[in-house]
Amino acid sequence: MLLEKTDLSLALSDRAFKYIYHQQRQRLYDLAIAAFEERLPTIVVFEGWDAAGKGTIIRYLTRRLDPRGFKVVSTQAPQSHELMMPWLWRFWMQLPRRGQMAIFDRSWYGRVMIERVEQLTPIPDWIRAYEEINQFERTLADDNTLIIKFWLHISEVEQLRRFSLLAQDPARAWEVTAEDWERHRKYDAYLAAVRDMLNNTSTDYAPWTVIPATDPNYRLYAVLRTIINGIEAALGERPTSWASVDKLEEEAREATEGKAARKARKKQKKSAPAGNEYDDYDDDDADDADDADDADDADEADDGDDADNGDDNTNGAREGGDNGNAVVQIDLVHEANLAEPEE
């Protein structure tokens, strides 16, 4: 039922995204420090459709975090020595240290996704994997590990649109392979596997969060919101309250208008001749706001326009079967960014 309840039309404007993203990023940075001090290990799992934007989200998620406090694990086909071990062994080896965040770009859920659909694992094995995964995650949760799991959801039509845009670009057409198109043709089979995965492995100690990934701005906002609230709950801190999308748009509009007014006032003050009313102008709050505006401007310039959620061409191999038939699958983690034509 998680997929059926997902509204894929949810979107956030550039203005609202910039307004809330800087706040979320600072809050996440503070929480990462608090988690390190409290020795709270955190696991963040990203699963989703090809071209849903997993790599882009990970890039923005980690952009301002202390690199000593996190690691990104890109799940690839198991190596020969890993195939000789129990199938979960290689993921045990990648667990975070106390106080560290481990971010998984694909994960142990390949066992019940690609290995199931592509028939790389016998049916009894992937059916048994549901319970093995739940036990694995329960063991981690009992050891005070925070587990946050995301499924990035887009429609079959949206995936086709993103594949087509890539295929029509001579500089990027190579990113869409025959295997990608074949998996797209199996969208319904993968959708059935996703439903079973969510229904069988969403637990109180490791729940799934389905993210509407059609709009890149809302996608990142929803992911950060979930991670922030998850860490706050684990640390026993008061949860951050989040405004509705409409309210967020209104707050962003007011903040933008206030920022423009302060800049105009500052410019007028600098250009005013001596002996005018601005000589006696002294508003500490306004000066502090001006300083904050300047810092935000510098921050945005350094980010290279956060609202664009730029294309990420990172390709990662997805795991194959544990029966020796390891298959490398290209994981397109690009996105349809704001520069792309609307449907």
Stretch 69-82: mean pLDDT, rounded?
A: 93
Q: Around Cβ 19, how many Cβ atoms within 10 Å?
A: 22
The pLDDT assigned to 71 comes to 97
Residue 34 has pLDDT above 50, yes or no: yes
What pLDDT score does 266 carry?
78
Percent of the chain past pLDDT 70, that is, above it, reads 79
Paired residues of 320 in beta bridges: none
Q: What is the pLDDT of residue 315?
A: 36
Q: Which of 37-46, 91-100, 162-171, 252-261 has the lowest mean pLDDT?
A: 252-261
- Residue-wise pLDDT tens digits, 207-252: 999 999 999 999 999 999 999 999 999 999 999 999 999 999 999 9
Which SS3 state, helix, strand or coil, does residue 110 take? helix
- Nearest C-alpha neighbor of 176 from the set 188, 165, 187: 165
pLDDT at site 299: 57
Which range has the worst mean pLDDT, 48-57, 58-67, 70-79, 303-312? Answer: 303-312
Q: Rounded distance, CA 97 to CA 202, Å?
A: 24
Closest among 21, 37, 61 to 237, alpha carbons compared: 37
> Average of pLDDT values for 65-89?
94
- Report the DSSP beta bridge partners of residue 147: 43
| Predicted confidence (pLDDT) at residue 111 exceeds the cutoff of 80 | yes
Ordered domains of the chain (ranges, CATH): 14-242+312-332 (3.40.50.300), 245-307 (no CATH)
Judge whether 216 and 309 are in contact, CB under 8 Å. yes
Q: Confirm whether pTM is higher than 0.75.
A: yes
Element of type H or E holding 165: helix 156-167
